[in-house]
Structure formats: structure tokens, C-alpha cells
Amino acid sequence: MKKTFRVLELHCPACVMRVESIEDELPGVTRVNASYQKQLMQVEFDEKRVTVEQIVLAAKQKGYQAIPL
């Protein structure tokens, strides 16, 4: 499954790297592609292993509010 999130706190490449690290830390997430210019994060994940709520929480733990679109 692929889901897009609005992340207004993305301001620079370091922010992008921080949210993209969710891919390495959350089992079931296969790809994270973020853009600070667009303030969007696109996540590919296995919905049998991880939920949208878990992705939102993982972003929050890194200091970002991810809003599912």
C-alpha cells in the first residue's frame, strides 16, 4: 500500500533524512520518500504489518506531525 502524508515541519534535507529513517526502524515499511519543498512524505508499506497510525506515531517520535491525505 502507498500513502501520502502532509508534513509541514519539513524544512531542509536533514528533516527529510530524519523522517525517511522511519523505513529502517518500522517493520513493514518498505519505502519512504519525503520532500521538504512539497512538505509531503510518501510511504510504501505492508498494511498487514504496520498501520497508518503507527507511521504517524513514528513521525511524531521524530518531531514531525504526519497528516494522512
Instruction: For the chain, give the secondary structure using H, E and C.
Output: CEEEEECCCCCCHHHHHHHHCHHHHCCCEEEEEEECCCCEEEEEECCCCCCHHHHHHHHHHCCCCCEEC
Please state the pTM of the whole predicted model: 0.94
pLDDT digits (tens, 9 = 90+) for 34-60: 999 999 999 999 999 999 999 999 999
Buried/exposed code over 30-58 (b: 16+ C-beta within 10 A; e: otherwise): eebebebeeebbebebeeeebeeebbbeb
For residue 45, what pLDDT is reported? Answer: 98
2-68 CATH, one of 3.30.43.10, 3.65.10.10, 3.40.50.261, 3.30.70.100: 3.30.70.100
pLDDT digits (tens, 9 = 90+) for 6-37: 999 999 999 999 999 999 999 999 999 999 99
For residue 11, what pLDDT is reported? Answer: 93
